[in-house]
Amino acid sequence: MARRPHSAEDERIAFEEAVADVRPLAWDRVHHEPPPPPAIPRHTQNDDAAVLAETLASPDLLDLQLEGGDEAAWLRPGLSRGVLRDLRRGRWVVQARLDLHGMNRDEARLAVTRFIHDSRQQNLRCLRIVHGKGLGSPGREPILKNLVFGWLAQKREVLAYCQARAAEGGAGAVIVLLSAPK
């Protein structure tokens, strides 16, 4: 039968006897979230110009303005297919982001126009526009998605766009490449 401690010293001794065999737990951390995407190296303006020059010099031309398949992509007529390939592969660093969640059509169109204008004023070339997947829309259809694609194709400043990679928003976002300001 265990003795009952009566003083602070007896309590301390009883505690030390009780925990004498205790060893620290080995911490094995488990992450339930996927790891973050790998860091994309920052390009200087010269690197961006070199990428564009290299892809424009490529002989492969894109026959169709809007590619087929599951992923939306568009390339200004006359530009090399390599421009779109490099945009998809992440060779261009996303320099600014616009989120259209919660906006109606008119607000979104104005926001996209301002975003492109302001980005050009700041000499930004690669942008990400988050239009959403339409899960909150009537019929769960992505209304803004198709509108944004049409608006971007009408802008002279836009050279190409493609669906963002999964880590950057996937089907709910688009990566846009702007021409260099003159």
Strand positions, DSSP E, 13-167? 73-75, 96-99, 126-130, 158-163
Q: 68 pLDDT band (50/70/90 cuts)?
A: very low
Query: What is the rounded distance in angstroms from the CA atom of residue 86 to the CA atom of residue 65?
Result: 16
Q: Which residue has the higher pLDDT, 167 or 60?
A: 167
CA 153 – CA 136 distance, rounded (Å): 25
Output the pLDDT for position 142. 76
User: Would you call 95 exposed, middle or buried from its count of C-beta atoms within 10 A (0-12, 13-18, 19+)?
Assistant: middle
pLDDT of 141 reads 74
- Whether 18 has a pLDDT exceeding 70, the answer reads yes
Q: Does residue 65 register a pLDDT over 50?
A: no
Would you state the pLDDT for residue 62?
Answer: 34
**Residue 6, pLDDT above cutoff 60:** yes
Q: Return the pLDDT at 174.
A: 95
CB of 75 closer than 8 Å to CB of 64: no
Give the separation between CA 99 and CA 134, rounded to whole angstroms: 13
Write the CB contacts of 134 (distance below 8 Å, at least 6 apart in sequence): 140, 141, 142, 143, 144, 145
pLDDT digits (tens, 9 = 90+) for 136-164: 666 677 788 888 998 998 899 999 999 99
How high does pLDDT run on average in the chain?
Answer: 80
pLDDT at 130: 94
64-178: what fold? Answer: Ribosomal Protein S8; Chain: A, domain 1 (3.30.1370)
For residue 23, what pLDDT band results from cuts at 50, 70 and 90?
Answer: confident
Quickly tell me which residue has 């992923």 as its tokens: 71
Task: Locate the domains of the chain by residue range.
Answer: 64-178
